[in-house]
Structure 1
């Protein structure tokens, strides 16, 4: 009887240890005591700015779920946010979803930001780059073009436009966009090598 109990306890301990080992790592926490007081916040900070601060801090730590949860507060409570910060919250969510390899959710966040709060250069560019990496160069070209209309000196957008045209087989347009990107200071060596060099890899990464 005692041997049986020993064997049972040993097996139970093994199962418990295995379960603990298989648990996902604890999400990285942030130090809320470092959140700036009202005096240290931007002049245009809304009442819910602390949630934006928390979202960006979680993003820095690689905790995308924490970043999404905090930024969602600004979207769900417009009375404590502003159009500027709600737009930024959606863009941050899109970048988080990209890091989590959920492109459909990332696209939805960028599109919502543009539809709800108007065009913004960074958002147009991020969405264009994502379309390019998702093998939709036609839509990417439109959005890179829209980005350049907002800022004709955006060298990354010019390079993305060239890559989109290459993927579409529009050689002359690609050459013109490549020349523009080069004049603006972009590295166009990959684009000069041929039509397969600018496509699926995209032109940007998600940034916090």
Structure 2
């Protein structure tokens, strides 16, 4: 086995260990606080489900790889989220799951771009109307699971699925539906035939 193959195998094994560990530690749950700010949402300790796995703490920090902030009234850029994650997570750079569903966001929080290890981003049932907001996620190269259903753009943009697949080619699941080969073929055709439409009518930079 050559050095390149050994490196690939080593990286795959490391990623598997991270994934397995992430499944072991529960997501920190700050949902259903009716909070308008992040500070209000996280003002108490994370919720623990009866009979579920217990959160593991070391001092004031937690072993976890995800944060759940759904069913609040959050909005805006969430500028303080990265600082909070650094303070509360033992391994903040490995944060892989963020749930901001069922809030009042009219934009994808710019802070999300800082979480480069993010694999799951739940953002359904918010107030997104501008399809250009999706492009903020294009820097998240590890992103595999995304939800946007229940946002106004779901009804207003009939080609949403194809646009998302062109913008985020690394996705494996969109709106809780596995991305199929047929989806990818359709998105490629759509991309080829709609570059001018996008740039003229939506004023979105042409997809490369």
Q: Which interval holds the TM-score relative to the shorter structure?
A: 0.3 to 0.5
- The structure whose Rg is larger is 1
TM-score by length of 2: 0.34
TM-score by length of 1: 0.34
Q: Which has the larger share of helix?
A: 1
